[in-house]
Amino acid sequence: MTDHHRRQIATGLTAIVPAAGIGSRMGAECPKQYLPLAGKTILEHTLGCLLSHPAIAQVIVALAPHDGWFDALPIAADPRILRVEGGAERAYSVLNALQVASSDWVLVHDAARPCLCHGDLDVLIAAALTCDGAILGSRVRDTMKRTDAAGNIVATVEREQLWHALTPQMFPTVRLKRALEEGLALGASITDEASAMERAGFPVRMVEGRADNIKVTRPEDLSLAGLFLSQQA
């Protein structure tokens, strides 16, 4: 692939945001992506970051069938946002979005990762276009332990070359669609897009990103995400 071809592909990209989950661990009255954070909802921060990047022309949001919150968001009126129905699992939501994606490559990003930086997007896009796809990650810094079912430590896991998988994850649209379809048909465990591509035999490049690209999962994550957003601003 020539540099000119890479530059052509790296414009007009489609970002997919699976946002059909309920986020039960937050214990909130609404799905976690609609919780307030620094004057907006978590989802608005996430979508705003993607839409403001010059390489992204469209964002496809996969919503729960009876989502009653999205239409009330000001950003929902942005003509670059396309909505599809989400599925019971993340893989089904992403697959539904892939059915209508028009670009050769797609980036899939968690709805509850509002602290993504454009610098990480730049590095990810550049890396992905040199191979079969890439994901953002952060190196494991803590000592890792493995336990048995009773919670007793049985081993210390070597942390060298061990990473936390983050998003976005960027892959060729057709290949990702095929990998998800094949994995789901066989009942494989698909925890993220990279796991589907790995299972299909494609090498996936790990790209080191910022550790503040956190996923809001528990109540204490909200204040931490707010701190990171204020620092980025």
pLDDT tens digit sequence for 134-164: 999 999 999 999 999 999 999 999 888 899 9
Tell me the CB-side half-sphere exposure of residue 161, using CA atoms within 13 A. 1
Summarised one tens digit per residue, pLDDT across range 58-95 is 999 999 999 999 999 999 999 999 999 999 899 999 99
Summarised one tens digit per residue, pLDDT across range 17-64 is 999 987 656 656 788 999 999 999 999 999 999 999 999 999 999 999
Secondary structure element (H or E) that encloses residue 61, with its range:
strand 56-63
Q: What does DSSP say about strands 56-63 and 144-147: parallel, antiparallel, or unpaired?
A: unpaired
Distance from C-alpha of 73 to C-alpha of 210, rounded to nearest angstrom: 28
Distance from C-alpha of 33 to C-alpha of 43, rounded to nearest angstrom: 5
